[in-house]
Chains A and B, each alone.
Chain A
């Protein structure tokens, strides 16, 4: 369980992982030494699993196709869904892999350069796998929001008075 201070620190890192331990120290009141050690611990414990920018690829003009795939799987005795999930997570085309409740079992987010890439991956790699019963592919048409960030439209300009009591 995180302490309140660690929670605040982790939240700040999650918002902007470019902040240095000194900058984090100024904003949290914790010492930079403590912060350095804490980050090392979290990296070891896989609490922090990476530091990546969030890129809105649609703005780069680069072709990129994403699809959400609903997969029904036959669970294996003694392993449930974990064994097939372990195998699936190795595919670099699969960017996210989630076990779902409801009408299907696994939800996959696939990325490829073209629709053909995605279709081929599903037809040739995914569907033929043992224990996979069926797949349903839904192509992403547009991203409006990603990881909590609104991607559509211009930034809201807030008109505050320049000086107020």
Chain B
């Protein structure tokens, strides 16, 4: 039946993660460091508000843009936390997770033939969404020696006049890299010079370990040039609720809303009510999670360094991205052999783009005990491999 698939869908390569997921699923007693979601359960007060909303019979559609109360609270939150200013009436759209927001941005702004610049490595959905929107993608390599930060020199190397959109995803999945204000300023100049629109995926903005996150949209002149995407999944451990949002100039948001109203209609009401509660009452729970991630982050970096592997110190998100090239194995071979020999699942860096070769992504959204056990197993594997080199 494959003949019925549209050619641009049929030619889309399957996710590198999916392939690995299938392999892991066949094995037992695996310790997985492959998960890109928090190990915490949504804070109780947030869950309780969702339950209460059902008890009250709040099971209807909301407006396309989402509950006004949530947009108002969100607007206030973005001002307080990131210094951003968005009108809740027409500059914020609540989506079914940040993933929908990414898709909407691509579909709303890209014409066939447009080019999107995507940092490499980065989250898996930007390139496929751009391709499905008829655009093409140019990867912008980032390197460990530059703390995996996006540099204008690297942007210049891949720039063509057809570039319309630049993706910024910091703190970054999979590297854990962040961008400081001084790193963002030249990018803003680059975007202004070439009149680019920027999709800033700030989904991990609350999970930083070296001061407060600086949002690209907060830089002078960048408010209207940026579509700010984020959500509740990572900050409040709410992945399954599917609540994200996108904020930007009202002309752009109204374009995105057109697609959203015909395809999604609205984000789930129970999730929206829970998200509102999260903004109002879960900041302490969020801060506790950040403290826990920070401890685990240090534990993981120390663990890999003890094994003799270079491990860039991640300052955001909940991943470490150690360099495994000393073992003379490709990322994929490392991940597969580690899984078979020590039953630890990690994700090959290449699942996140070609620059991920030589790295593996390990999530530390696990208990300290699980992480310690995983580190012991990985160290056995690495020791054996290094002795062969």
A interface residues (Cβ-Cβ under 8 A, vs B): 8, 11-12, 26-29, 156, 158, 160-165
B35 touches A160 (CB 8 A): yes
Cβ contacts under 8 Å, B294 to chain A:
8
* With A11-B291, A156-B41: A163-B298 Cβ-Cβ less than 8 Å: no
Q: Which of A11, A29, A158 contacts B39 (CB 8 A)?
A: A158
Is B34 on the interface with A (CB-CB < 8 A)?
A: yes
B298 touches A26 (CB 8 A): yes
Is B20 on the interface with A (CB-CB < 8 A)?
A: yes
| Shortest beta-carbon contacts, A-B, top 6 | A163-B34, A27-B295, A163-B21, A162-B32, A165-B124, A164-B36
Is B389 on the interface with A (CB-CB < 8 A)?
A: no
B299 touches A27 (CB 8 A): yes
A163 touches B291 (CB 8 A): no
**Chain B contact patch, size range:** 20 to 34
Not counting A26-B299, A160-B37, A165-B17, a sample of 10 additional A-B residue pairs whose C-beta atoms are within 8 angstroms of each other reads: A11-B291, A26-B302, A27-B296, A27-B298, A28-B295, A161-B21, A162-B32, A163-B24, A163-B345, A165-B351
Chain B residue with the shortest CB-CB distance to A164:
B36
Instruction: Please report the C-alpha to C-alpha distance between residue A163 and residue B124 in the assembled complex, in whole angstroms.
Output: 13
B345 touches A162 (CB 8 A): yes
Q: Which of A11, A156, A162 has its CB near the most chain B CB atoms (within 10 A)?
A: A162
* With A8-B291, A11-B291: A164-B298 Cβ-Cβ less than 8 Å: no
A158 to chain B, nearest CB (A): 7
Is B125 on the interface with A (CB-CB < 8 A)?
A: yes
Cβ contacts under 8 Å, B39 to chain A:
158, 160
Q: Which of A12, A26, A165 has its CB near the most chain B CB atoms (within 10 A)?
A: A165
Cβ contacts under 8 Å, B298 to chain A:
26-29
0/1 interface trace, chain B 12-31, chain A, CB 8 Å (1 if under): 00010100110011000010
